[in-house]
Structure 1
Amino acid sequence: MDIKQIQELIKFVSRSGVNEVAIEQVDFKITIKTNQAPTVINTTVPAPAAAAVLPAAAAVQPAAIETKPATPVDENSKYVTIKSPMIGTFYRSSSPDKPSFVNVGDEFSVGKVICIIEAMKLFNEIESEISGRIVKVLVDNASPVEYDQPLFLVEPM
């Protein structure tokens, strides 16, 4: 299971309303927990045959990359804050010689990569969950970020 599959699994779990999912294979174990009200679903899924399995020591803490929907800055504001889904280093572009994914004034749609957060030598592309226009970038390039730290101020469309 690679990082992209783990991210897709986390997105699925957060949308489905399930409180916890655990997958266990020979050399790999992952548990995803959400803060939603508990929903119990008992399902056994056969594990795929020895496909790209991470060793247990390299297992990713999925709770660290769980995403939260963008939230309004305050009740009177028309702007929404996009927050960091994980702890890591924030990058505005894929490399120093490439342009930023988004700049102030840029319009974007759902699914567009807006930044990268490096965590444990993995570069995670952060995709927008809303459509809008960047009003303010709240973090400097190559700065460390915490989980749930505001990254962008967005005017939703």
Structure 2
Amino acid sequence: MKLSKIQELLQMVAESGVAEVEVEEDDFKITIRQNGPTVMMQPSYSPPMHGYGMPQQPQYAPQPQQPQAPQPQQPAPAPETSAPAASPSTSDSAPAPDTDAEDDDGELGANEILVKAPIVGTFYRAPSPDSDPFIAEGDRVGEGDVLCIIEAMKLMNEIECETPGVIKEILVEDAEPVEFDQPLFIVDQS
């Protein structure tokens, strides 16, 4: 369809007061609406859109999710406010870790060392619920002896003794969750 014909159609629609006119010629189709500023032109046959055309448009629609991202950040200050609430319970936040370190040093004798958890997981004293524990308080252990198992993500990790000595104290209960670097045993090296 030529531009002159389209202009004639526009003028006729404007003069007649008709709300909408649709004209179709061969492989060309035009719709003219009186009440809107939009003139839509499209071929009468449009091949189906496969793959990239249609699915991508809805994927760009999640722009309203961007305002939702700051909302999770607003709850984040709530834990921050709970952190100061936890620090008054320990009196001063900075001296509390120093006090803990002093307590560890104060508890340990000259020949004693702490065996700490190398990973996060669940502490087990025995290889299975039916078995005897690997060690007990007062047992003498050598370098490479298995002290316990820490289960992490369904993997059983054997924790071995690095220095020989006597188990003075077991600091964790069986099947208790442990954190990285949490003290597990006190070993007397004398």
Q: Given the alignment, which residue of 108, 113, 123 partners 2:141? A: 108
CA distance in 2, matches of 1:149, 1:136: 14
CA distance in 1, matches of 2:105, 2:171: 16
CA distance in 1, matches of 2:155, 2:166: 28
CA distance in 2, matches of 1:77, 1:104: 16
RMSD: 1.3
Q: Any residues of structure 2 matched to 1:134-149 within 5 Å, and which? A: 134-149=167-182
**Higher helix content, 1 or 2:** 2
Structure 1: which amino acid aligns with 2:154?
A: K
Which aligned segments of 4 or more residues in structure 1 are displaced greater than 4 angstroms?
Answer: none
CA distance in 2, matches of 1:113, 1:130: 12
In the alignment, structure 2 segments of 5+ residues that lack a partner are: 1-103
CA distance in 1, matches of 2:185, 2:157: 17
1:41-83 deviation digits (Å, cap 9, x = unpaired): xxxxxxxxxxxxxxxxxxxxxxxxxxxxxxxx42772221100
Considering Cα pairs closer than 8 Å and 6+ residues apart, tell me whether 1 or 2 has the greater RCO: 1
Structure 2: which amino acid aligns with 1:154?
A: V
Match of residue 22 from structure 2? none
The percent identity for this pair of structures is 51
Aligned length: 85
**Is 1:155 equivalent to 2:188 in the alignment?**
yes
CA distance in 2, matches of 1:104, 1:129: 17
Structure 2: which amino acid aligns with 1:138?
A: L
**Is 1:77 equivalent to 2:104 in the alignment?**
no
Match of residue 124 from structure 1? 157
Q: Given the alignment, which residue of 122, 129, 152 partners 1:89? A: 122
Question: Displacement of 1:133 after TM fit?
Answer: 0.3
Say which SS state the counterpart of residue 74 (structure 1) adopts.
helix
Structure 2: which amino acid aligns with 1:88?
A: G
Structure 1: which amino acid aligns with 2:161?
A: S
Question: Displacement of 1:125 after TM fit?
Answer: 0.5
Q: TM-score normalized by structure 2?
A: 0.43
Q: TM-score normalized by structure 1?
A: 0.52
In the alignment, structure 1 segments of 5+ residues that lack a partner are: 1-72
Tell me which structure has the larger Cα radius of gyration.
Answer: 2
Structure 2: which amino acid aligns with 1:123?
A: M
